[in-house]
């Protein structure tokens, strides 16, 4: 009986800590969030860009972000060069007509300290889902001037293009893409 009571108490405590986490919407309307990418161009320079359209949410409790969900409109890719963006949207890279959405869904968070950790989850691109880990750093949190409450994070990870079925091969220097995320959430 004591074991059953201890198990019930443990379950209740775990549930109560989950229930205390607050839900946040990523502030894309105010342009206080961005998803950027960086890829080496043939070993000579860098191509830097972003996705202009995405949405998402997460929850946050006592220094730990969780339940991150982000959906990216792949056609919104913007490398500040129209012809290159047209190529990136095509079959050689993102194939946006067939795969209009990329997404990330978190599975766990490992805290390093109160301000940083590693967010683990599944990233889907071109219809392929792979686990990734994002190094996360909390930027800050607090009341905003409009009566709301905000919390912000930045993070980065690197993915291999071949892992997601991207057929274009630009050589070994260009095999990986660095993703940098800047997220400001508004408490719902």
In the chain, count of helices (H) and strands (E)?
Answer: 2, 11
CA distance 136 to 156: 7
Q: Encode pLDDT of 25-37 as tens digits.
A: 999 988 899 999 9
The token duo for 120 is 């683990």
Q: Looking at the domain covering 21-187, what would its CATH class be?
A: mainly beta
The model's pTM is: 0.86
Q: In the chain, where are the structural domains located?
A: 21-187
The token duo for 122 is 């599944």
The token duo for 147 is 């009566």
Q: Which residues of the chain have pLDDT under 70?
A: 1-19, 63
Q: Encode pLDDT of 120-133 as tens digits.
A: 999 999 999 999 99
């Amino acid at each position: 009986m004591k074991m059953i009571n201890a198990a019930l108490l443990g379950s209740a405590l775990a549930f109560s800590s989950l229930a205390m986490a607050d839900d946040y919407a990523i502030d894309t309307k105010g342009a206080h969030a961005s998803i950027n990418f960086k890829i080496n161009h043939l070993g000579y320079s860098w191509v830097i860009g972003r996705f202009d359209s995405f949405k998402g949410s997460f929850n946050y409790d006592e220094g730990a972000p969780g339940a991150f969900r982000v959906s990216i409109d792949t056609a919104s890719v913007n490398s500040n060069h129209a012809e290159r963006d047209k190529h990136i949207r095509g079959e050689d890279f993102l194939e946006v007509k067939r795969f209009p959405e990329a997404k990330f869904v978190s599975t766990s968070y490992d805290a390093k300290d109160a301000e940083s950790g590693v967010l683990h989850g599944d990233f889907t691109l071109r219809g392929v889902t792979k686990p990734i880990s994002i190094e996360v750093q909390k930027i800050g949190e607090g009341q905003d001037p409009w009566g709301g409450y905000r919390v912000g994070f930045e993070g980065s990870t690197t993915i291999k293009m071949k892992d997601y079925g991207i057929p274009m091969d630009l050589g070994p220097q260009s095999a990986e893409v660095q993703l940098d995320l800047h997220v400001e959430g508004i408490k719902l």
